[in-house]
């Protein structure tokens, strides 16, 4: 069946490696039929002082052209121009122009900051170990995620790595079921897709994003699901896509939803 990857990064972001052309070639060799490049949309120096977390604004035009060049070079594969856009709530200091964002085929929504703190940054992991921090961070993360997912005025089509808060394997003292239900209701209310992000298996949490029970909640709520490897190196462009499909089938999904060039979507059967 078709292999789909709707989430990857290249050397244009400060923590990725490899040329866009190398990702596209590796994806074509692996039999991928849809590949979305989703570089981290520029953050200001207040959030990304070292240019490590996102693409510098001056490099965005070069990134976009590289993706369009890859599309022209691989006519047998749908190559999407996309971005991963951080939801920063009322701390956002960017002037986001809807007209500028309209040129992207897919926009991933993500929450990497809890009140200006990049909670998944290994260099700032120590905050998690402070007394009472884990419960507080999880609750605040889910509040922000639900705000982003449920608001139809925001430009996100897909909510990426939904339970990223588990990255370092810190879990709250309370059951997660109620938070999972809130997240599923929010994604449904906002008309969002979610992704199975295969990169989670290679962090301390040692499982894909989202956890099976959260993905099951999304499925029950009728939230469409796609797949992204979140590759930051060409070697990982097709990593574990079949495992993601298997997880989707396990929790009840029977099709994967695939963003398309131009912003539409289609489905591919999993059976």
**Dihedral sign, Cα of residue 105, residue 110, residue 176, residue 125:** positive
- 243 exposed, middle or buried (CB, 10 Å; 0-12, 13-18, 19+)? middle
CA 54/CA 118 separation, integer angstroms: 12
Three-state secondary structure call for residue 231: strand
Q: What is the pLDDT of residues 49-87, one digit of tens each?
A: 999 999 999 999 999 999 999 999 999 999 999 999 999
Reply yes or no on whether the pLDDT at 26 is more than 90.
yes
Strand pairing category for 193-197 and 117-118 = unpaired
Domains of the chain (ranges; CATH) run: 3-269 (3.20.20.140)
Reply yes or no on whether the pLDDT at 177 is more than 90.
yes
Reply yes or no on whether the pLDDT at 245 is more than 90.
yes
Which pLDDT band, with edges at 50, 70 and 90, does 99 fall under? confident
User: Is residue 34 within 8 Å of residue 258, measured between CB atoms?
Assistant: yes
- 83 exposed, middle or buried (CB, 10 Å; 0-12, 13-18, 19+)? buried
Which residues neighbour 271 within 8 Å (Cβ) at sequence distance 6 or greater?
249, 254
Whether the model clears a pTM of 0.85, i.e. scores above it, the answer is yes
Q: What is the pLDDT of residues 110-152, one digit of tens each?
A: 999 999 999 999 999 999 999 999 999 999 999 999 999 999 9
pLDDT of residue 271: 80
pLDDT of residue 1: 86
Reply yes or no on whether the pLDDT at 97 is more than 90.
no
Q: What is the pLDDT of residues 184-195, one digit of tens each?
A: 999 999 999 999
Strand pairing category for 106-110 and 158-159 = parallel
CA 253/CA 268 separation, integer angstroms: 11
């Amino acid at each position: 069946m078709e292999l789909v990857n709707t989430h990857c990064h290249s050397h244009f972001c400060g923590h990725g490696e490899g040329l866009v052309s190398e990702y596209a070639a590796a994806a074509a060799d692996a039999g991928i039929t849809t590949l979305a490049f989703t570089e981290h949309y520029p953050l200001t120096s207040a959030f990304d002082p070292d240019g490590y977390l996102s693409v510098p604004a001056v490099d965005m035009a070069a990134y976009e052209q590289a993706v369009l060049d890859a599309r022209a070079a691989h006519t047998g594969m749908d190559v999407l121009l996309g971005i991963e856009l951080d939801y920063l709530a009322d701390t956002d200091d960017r002037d986001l122009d809807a007209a500028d964002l309209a040129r992207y085929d897919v926009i991933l929504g993500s929450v990497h900051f809890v009140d200006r703190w990049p909670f998944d940054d290994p260099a700032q992991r120590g905050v998690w170990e402070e007394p009472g921090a884990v419960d507080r961070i999880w609750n605040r993360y889910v509040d922000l995620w639900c705000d982003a997912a449920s608001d139809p005025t925001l430009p996100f089509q897909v909510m990426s790595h939904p339970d990223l808060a588990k990255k370092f394997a810190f879990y709250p003292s309370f059951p997660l079921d109620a938070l999972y239900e809130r997240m599923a209701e929010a994604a449904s209310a906002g008309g969002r897709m979610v992704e199975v992000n295969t990169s989670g298996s290679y962090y301390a949490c040692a499982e894909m994003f989202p956890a099976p029970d959260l993905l099951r909640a999304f499925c029950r709520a009728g939230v469409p699901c796609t797949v992204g490897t979140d590759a930051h190196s060409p070697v990982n462009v097709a990593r574990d896509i079949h495992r993601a499909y298997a997880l989707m089938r396990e929790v009840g999904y029977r099709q994967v939803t695939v963003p398309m060039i131009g912003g539409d979507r289609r489905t591919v059967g999993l059976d």
